[in-house]
């Protein structure tokens, strides 16, 4: 049966498929820039969705900057130094991230490390991975970052490089983002979701009705870390530059957590909205400040930090007044009507 | 243990002893940083993720007072301590108080928002350049080893501050109330202690300790907006390792971590010293989740 919901989905998908055309019509000449913005939003939306898999069950990890970093660096290192195609490199990177996630996750879940301790422990894990990346500077370029070696003209199926063709990059990233949403829905409808919901509220009670809490948590951690590694790898392939502070480390971890909190942690489109919100805010402020004579004269070079300032302020306000995020709060209003 | 270090191109010579003693001096500063955070966690049950950013604000304040306003250094130090203490109180009043009945993780994240805010504010006000006061205190030479005076002063002041805080907590009425509230949050209001006032006082003291740390750090380090990201994670690690809220534990943990950093740093490279410290921390927490000296909950 075709319901209203199905029609809405179909229209939404059609609009997304036609988006590059629309952008070209509305912004002729600058369409590359706007497509770039949309691509960035979709990549981060996928990573945020990957994080929210764990975050929604009370596993507030500050360690996902490590997974995105592993994803990006393992893929690029294998390509640059061993000549291994990302078709193999990306699965390897996802495997490495999953194993790392298991190594940190298993003792945590076994010893019942939750709340503050879990957040601070995963924070240490992120820092550890970032320091390792910087430490291996002969390969990774240290804190300056590195670039994947270009294959031919930088457009290659074999090397998974698609940066010069923005429209192609858009469709690839759109597919990635849709896969993320499908995984979210699958998890949402699975038995594991109920088990994890129960475990996040009361571990003892959940265990007493026969839920293997440690195993359920490990399953979701594996999924979440693999997704974030995949997102990090795609980010590296598109940006053609990876740095320890742009794709790994505490800064990335905090960005992930905050964007999802702002968007809404318990809804399908919450993480995506968080990505739209943070990217558009940063870009608008950057462009707006460059355009405005008075503001740039007043703030000078330091105007670049204004977006972070407003971002931080909004996050504080969001957590105080809208702990369920924008989408969550709006959804509740909608239901109440 | 020593055999391991010698295999890393680092034998038991003067350099090793120098690194060891410098580690002890660094531990003083780290212990002071951990002390404020532990006090706040023990009493209010909130982790200020932005604690190191308060220190950064204090450092910039001293820089501004001395370089722009021309205030003499000792007075600038006092002003900075007062300023950061006020900042701590405001942080509690405006940000922490509204989320006190939300899930603990939201309390942690809300101060993360403040972290971004303070970092961006510092960048806007002072730019991203590295700045320093240009104070050179020289160093003492003992045999072939040399120790910077700034590090020795830091260690002595940090130790003094810890003893003073301990005296305050055990000898005064407010101090006793603070310790009591950290033991039982529900009973104390019934005993006629105003919880809100104690929380504000604790935040002010925690902020003041951050201010003191900033005075000591301008003697040794360059000031830049991201300095908080260098010291913040280290401070949390020490607090958790010693058992969150356990001040004596934090003190011991600071010594352990500082040794990893200085000895690892002098044998291989600085970031590997840090990396090994973080790894050690994770392994300890896997075995003892409550920290080295924390009570089992």
CATH number of B269's domain: 1.10.3470
B86 touches chain A (CB under 8 A): no
Interfacial B residues in 150-179 facing A (CB < 8 Å): none
CB of A302 less than 8 A from some CB of B: yes
Q: What are the pLDDT digits (tens) for B147-184?
A: 888 889 999 998 999 899 999 989 998 888 888 888 88
The three-state secondary structure class of A229 is: helix
The answer to whether residue B282 neighbours chain A at the CB level (below 8 Å) is yes
User: Could you tell me the CA-to-CA distances from A210 to A188, A195, A198, A215, B126 in Å, in that order?
Assistant: 20, 10, 11, 12, 58
Domains identified in chain B, total number: 1
Mean pLDDT for chain A overall: 88
pLDDT surpasses 70 at A102: yes
Asked if A124 lies within 8 A of B109 by C-beta distance, the reply is no
d(CA B225, CA B228): 7
Residues of B with Cβ-Cβ distance to A120 under 8 angstroms: 47, 236-237, 240
pLDDT number for residue A301: 59
- From chain A, the residues in CB contact with B257 under 8 A are none
Most confident of A131-135, A222-226, B26-30, B134-138: A222-226
**Chain-centre distance for alpha carbon A30:** 26
Residue B229 and residue A250: Cβ atoms within 8 Å?
Answer: yes
Measuring CA to CA, how many Å separate B39 from each of B34, B154, B237? Answer: 9, 20, 15
Q: Is the per-residue pLDDT at B4 higher than 50?
A: no
Cα dihedral A141, A146, A150, A153, rounded to 10, equals -140
ipTM of this complex = 0.85
Q: Is B90 on the interface with A (CB under 8 A)?
A: no
- Chain B residue numbers with beta carbons less than 8 Å from the beta carbon of A121 are 240, 282, 285
**pLDDT tens column, A270-328:** 999 999 988 888 888 777 776 666 666 666 656 667 878 888 888 888 888 887 777 77
Least confident interval from A104-118, A179-193, B134-148, B165-179: B134-148
Summarised one tens digit per residue, pLDDT across range B237-293 is 999 898 887 888 888 999 999 999 888 888 877 788 899 999 999 999 888 888 887
Beta bridge partners of B141: B146
- Pairing verdict, β B139-142 and B145-148: antiparallel
Residue in B with minimal Cα distance to A137:
B271
Structure tokens that stand for A58 in this block: 């009370």
Instruction: Assess if residue B141 is contained within a domain.
Output: no
- Residue B236: which of A111, A123, A304 has the nearest Cβ? A123
Decide: pTM greater than 0.90.
no
Chain B, residues 176-235, CB within 8 A of chain A, namely 225, 229, 233
| pLDDT number for residue B16 | 81
Distance of alpha carbon B113 from alpha carbon A78, whole angstroms: 36
Using the structure block, give the residue that is written with the tokens 């320091």: A131
Q: Taking CB atoms and an 8 Å limit, are A319 and B116 in contact across chains?
A: no
Instruction: For residue B140, tell me if it sits in a domain.
Output: no
Alpha carbons B196 and A157: distance in angstroms, whole number: 63
Note down the domain range covering B281: 2-128+149-287
Cβ atoms of B236 and A125 within 8 Å: the answer is no
Is the separation of the CB atoms in A224 and A50 below 8 Å? yes
């Amino acid at each position: 049966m075709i319901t209203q919901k199905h029609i809405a989905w179909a229209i939404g998908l059609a609009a997304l498929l036609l988006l590059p055309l629309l952008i070209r019509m509305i912004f002729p000449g600058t369409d590359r820039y706007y497509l770039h913005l949309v691509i960035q939003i979709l990549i981060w939306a996928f990573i945020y969705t990957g994080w929210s898999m764990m975050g929604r069950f009370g596993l507030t990890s500050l360690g996902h900057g490590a997974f995105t970093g592993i994803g990006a660096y393992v893929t690029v290192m294998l390509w640059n130094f061993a000549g291994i195609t990302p078709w193999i490199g990306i699965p390897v990177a996802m495997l490495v991230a999953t194993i790392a996630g298991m190594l940190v996750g298993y003792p945590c879940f076994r010893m019942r490390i939750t709340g503050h301790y879990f957040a601070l422990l995963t924070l240490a894990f992120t820092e550890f991975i970032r320091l390792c990346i910087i430490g291996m500077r002969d390969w990774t370029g240290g804190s300056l970052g590195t670039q994947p070696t270009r294959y031919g003209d930088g457009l290659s199926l074999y090397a998974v490089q698609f940066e010069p063709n923005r429209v192609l990059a858009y469709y690839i990233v759109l597919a990635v983002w849709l896969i993320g949403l499908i995984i979210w829905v699958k998890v949402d409808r699975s038995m594991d979701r109920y088990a994890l919901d129960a475990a996040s509220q009361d571990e003892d009670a959940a265990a007493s009705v026969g839920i293997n809490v440690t195993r359920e948590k490990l399953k979701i951690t594996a999924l979440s870390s693999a997704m974030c590694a995949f997102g990090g790898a795609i980010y590296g392939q598109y940006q053609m530059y990876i740095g320890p502070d742009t794709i790994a480390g505490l800064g990335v971890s905090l960005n992930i957590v905050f964007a999802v909190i702002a968007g809404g942690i318990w809804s399908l489109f919450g993480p995506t909205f968080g990505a739209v919100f943070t990217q558009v805010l940063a870009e608008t402020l950057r462009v707006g400040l460059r355009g405005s004579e008075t503001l740039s004269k007043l703030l000078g070079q330091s105007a670049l930090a204004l977006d972070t300032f407003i971002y931080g302020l909004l996050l504080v306000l969001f957590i105080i007044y809208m702990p369920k995020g924008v989408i969550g709060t709006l959804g509740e209003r909608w239901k109440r009507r | 243990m020593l055999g391991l270090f010698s295999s890393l191109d680092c034998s038991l010579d003067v350099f090793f002893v120098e690194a060891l003693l410098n580690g002890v001096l660094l531990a003083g500063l780290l212990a002071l940083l951990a002390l404020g955070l532990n006090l706040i966690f023990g009493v209010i049950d909130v982790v200020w993720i932005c604690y190191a950013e308060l220190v950064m604000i204090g450092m910039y304040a001293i820089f501004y007072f001395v370089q722009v306003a021309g205030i003499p250094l000792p007075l600038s130090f006092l002003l900075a301590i007062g300023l950061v203490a006020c900042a701590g109180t405001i942080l509690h009043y405006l940000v922490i108080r509204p989320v006190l009945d939300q899930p603990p993780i939201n309390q942690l994240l809300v101060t993360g928002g403040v972290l971004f805010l303070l970092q961006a504010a510092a960048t806007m006000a002072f730019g991203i350049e590295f700045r320093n006061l240009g104070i050179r205190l020289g160093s003492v030479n003992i045999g072939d080893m040399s120790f910077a005076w700034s590090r020795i002063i830091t260690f002595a002041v940090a130790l003094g501050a810890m003893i003073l805080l301990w005296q305050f907590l055990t000898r005064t009425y407010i101090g006793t109330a603070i310790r009591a509230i950290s033991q039982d949050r529900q009973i104390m209001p019934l005993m006629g202690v105003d919880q809100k006032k104690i929380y504000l006082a604790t935040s002010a003291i925690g902020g003041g300790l951050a201010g003191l740390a900033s005075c000591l750090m301008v003697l040794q380090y360059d000031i830049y907006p991201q300095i908080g990201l260098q010291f913040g994670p280290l401070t949390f690690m020490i607090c958790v390792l010693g058992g969150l809220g356990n001040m004596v534990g934090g003190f011991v943990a600071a010594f352990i971590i500082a040794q990893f950093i200085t000895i690892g740093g002098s044998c291989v490279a600085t970031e590997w010293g840090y990396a090994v410290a973080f790894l050690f921390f994770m392994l300890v927490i896997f075995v003892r989740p409550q920290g080295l000296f924390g009570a089992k909950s």
